[in-house]
Amino acid sequence: MRRLLLLALLWLAAACSSAAPPQPPTAQPPAPSADRPVPARPAPTPPPPARPTPPLPAVSGERATVRTVIDGDTLTVLNARGEFVVRLIGIDAPERGDERRPPECYHEEATRILADLAPPGSVVFLERDVSETDRYGRLLRYVWVERAGRWILVNEELVRRGAAVAREYPPDTRYAGRLAAAERVARSVGEGLWGACTGAPATVPAPPPSPSSAGCDPSYPDICVPPPPPDLDCRDIPVRRFRVLPTDPHWFDTDRDGVGCESG
């Protein structure tokens, strides 16, 4: 009886295993055919066109990179020949002062405006007039900077914004007419130092020097100071409290009271 029961269980297990449904084959993706084109990949977006470099100003000169801004009319640059101090010609900005005298009116603003026009790291174009350097070894240059696809004469823009006044320093007078016109506009609307400083420099033409004072600027009749260039400061001369007449090209009389270099 036990043997018959064991045989029945074996037969039942064999019947169940034979009745299990077969597993369906794994589906394979259809192979591409000649009648079904393969979808094309989207083309990559092309990069935006490069901003064209404006042509150089129609002047002779050289490129340079601004290193520092010293004051409203002086900066340092680096070019292919090395590092140089550049004095912007045809203009005069308020002096920064020293331990013997305070900064002149609108000095900080003028320095800030030049730093805005030609910030450190910017590329500028330096144009020479007649003189190469002044007696301090500073390069005498007109400075051009590119803005919105055009070149701006920084010397002129400083005068136009009232950050500097126009000064003629023969023989470097190539843009004297443009600078004088920019000053007239700035004065007429009280731009910059013309509205902020009660002692803005006068621009009355100076009388021609007499033969006895040849080599001495007539604005300083009691002492002999050569006319610019270079532009002198009070620290460059030993005399104090001397008479000053228009046009005071060295701007010794900062408060316009007719007395030069009163402090120190």
Any domain includes 46: no
Any domain includes 3: no
Q: Are 186 and 106 in contact (CB under 8 A)?
A: no
Flag whether the pTM goes above 0.85: no
Any domain includes 18: no
Catalytic residue among 96, 104, 127, 138: 138
Any domain includes 191: yes
Any domain includes 47: no
CATH code of the domain covering residue 178: 2.40.50.90
Give catalytic status of residue 150 as yes or no. no
The DSSP 8-state label assigned to residue 169 in this structure reads B
What residue numbers bound the domain in which 233 lies? 61-260
Q: Are 30 and 37 in contact (CB under 8 A)?
A: no
pLDDT in tens, the chain (264 residues): 566 666 666 666 666 555 555 565 565 656 655 566 666 677 777 776 655 555 666 777 899 999 999 999 999 999 999 999 999 999 999 988 877 788 899 999 999 999 999 999 999 999 999 999 988 899 999 999 998 888 999 999 999 999 999 999 889 999 999 999 999 999 999 999 999 997 555 443 444 444 345 688 888 888 888 888 788 888 778 777 788 888 888 888 876 767 788 765
Catalytic residue among 95, 127, 156, 191: 95
| Distance separating alpha carbons of residues 214 and 70, to the nearest angstrom | 33
Q: Are 254 and 245 in contact (CB under 8 A)?
A: no
Domain tally, the chain: 1
Any domain includes 187: yes
Q: Which tokens is 123 given? A: 């590329």
Any domain includes 188: yes
Give catalytic status of residue 112 as yes or no. no
Q: Are 203 and 181 in contact (CB under 8 A)?
A: no
Q: Which tokens is 176 given? A: 């004297």
